[in-house]
Copies of this chain bind each other. A is one copy, B any other.
Amino acid sequence: MVKCAVVGAKGYTGCELIKLLAQHPQVNLSFLADQDDTPQNACELIANLPQDKQLEIKKFDYDTVVKSCDVIFLALPHTKSIDFVSKLSKEEGKIIIDLSADFRLKDITMYKKWYNTKHTAPALVSEAVYGLPELYRKEVKKATIIANPGCYPTAIILGLSPLLKRGLINTNSVIIDAKTGVSGAGRNATQKNHFCEVYENFQSYKINAHQHMPEIEEIISAVAQKKIAITFVPHLLPILRGILASIYVEKNDSITADTIYGAYEEDFANEPFVRLMTRGQYPQTKNVEGTNYCDIGIYVDNASSRVIIISAIDN
């Protein structure tokens, strides 16, 4: 049994994480904490937790976390993880899994630009591993600081990586039209997630200005071994859960459809959490809801030399 802590347990991310960990046969949820002072039973926030478990969310206490847990999940708002990870990284034998964006960007000038905060632990950024097992399985296994990928990046990077790592496409041609459900934006009530603003509505937001854009660009550039700039237009769907990204790229002329499909089959045939659709089939968000699958469908248009990748995950 692995003794785990969740810090930031009251947000949507924290709650979702607790739900998953509570069902895991090898996880012992030893400490749930939140900056919010009031202790609260996790069952009040999270419907359908196994009731026999003692899952109280307590006030955060550093020493308790360190003493009682081996793996510490941080479900904190962006910029709030840095100090905590810095301190914790000095403890012996802890594994830190940070769900925020604080350790995702290797280029800390980009971090400053997009999150408006100077990064105070650049050495740890270098040490951190981007937690996408399909790309970095070996590194993840040995890592002590794991930067969990954002939702958009997971769907998009998995959708693009087979093409990029083989040099099959024009790296200047990447256009991503992405759509997300509402739960991705967290539990805080704002005008933007008011039922009356979202329901029976659809719109784009943050065109080429979403904070996940540098994360996507950095990872796919590493995969392609070439600097890539993307066009990225997120949209808000009137649904709870799910992301679907429609990705448009130009293939190199000589590349056949079979080569394209073959790349995906080779990379994902043995991946437990990527489901490659049969040709002519495309993902829908409800088929990935409540799962950690990434469903990917591919359309190759020889006339225009375009490849369209449709990639869906729960967000």
Please report A residues at the B interface, Cβ cutoff 8 Å: 12, 47-48, 172, 175, 177, 179, 182-183, 187, 189-191, 193-196, 198-205, 207-208, 229, 231, 233, 235, 237-242, 244, 246, 248, 282-291, 293, 299, 301, 303-304, 306, 308, 310
Contact B208 A233 (CB under 8 A): no
Which residue from B12, B175, B191, B203 sits with its C-beta under 8 Å from A196? B12
The distance in angstroms between the C-alpha atoms of A251 and B171, with both chains bound, is 18
What 3 A-B pairs are tightest by C-beta distance, nearest first? A203-B284, A47-B287, A177-B177
The distance in angstroms between the C-alpha atoms of A240 and B293, with both chains bound, is 22
CB neighbours (8 Å) of A187 from chain B are: 191, 194, 196
Question: Can you list 29 residue pairs at the A/B interface with Cβ under 8 Å?
Answer: A47-B286, A47-B291, A48-B288, A48-B293, A179-B202, A182-B199, A183-B196, A187-B196, A189-B193, A189-B194, A193-B194, A195-B195, A196-B240, A199-B199, A200-B200, A200-B241, A201-B286, A202-B237, A202-B284, A203-B244, A203-B284, A204-B246, A205-B282, A208-B301, A233-B308, A235-B244, A235-B246, A237-B237, A248-B248
CB distance from A51 to the nearest CB of B (A): 8
Which residue from B172, B189, B208, B303 sits with its C-beta under 8 Å from A190? B189
CB distance from A259 to the nearest CB of B (A): 20
Q: Which residue of B lies closest to A303 (CB)?
A: B229
Please judge, given known A-B contacts A207-B282, A237-B237, whether A200 and B289 are in contact too, CB under 8 Å.
yes
Contact B182 A195 (CB under 8 A): yes
The distance in angstroms between the C-alpha atoms of A301 and B232, with both chains bound, is 11
Contact A299 B244 (CB under 8 A): no
> Which among A194, A233, A288 has the greatest number of chain B C-beta atoms within 10 A?
A194
The distance in angstroms between the C-alpha atoms of A282 and B233, with both chains bound, is 12
Contact A202 B239 (CB under 8 A): yes
The distance in angstroms between the C-alpha atoms of A177 and B309, with both chains bound, is 12
- Sample of 6 further A-B pairs with CB below 8 A, known A47-B289, A202-B239, A204-B244: A175-B248, A175-B306, A189-B190, A202-B242, A204-B282, A238-B239
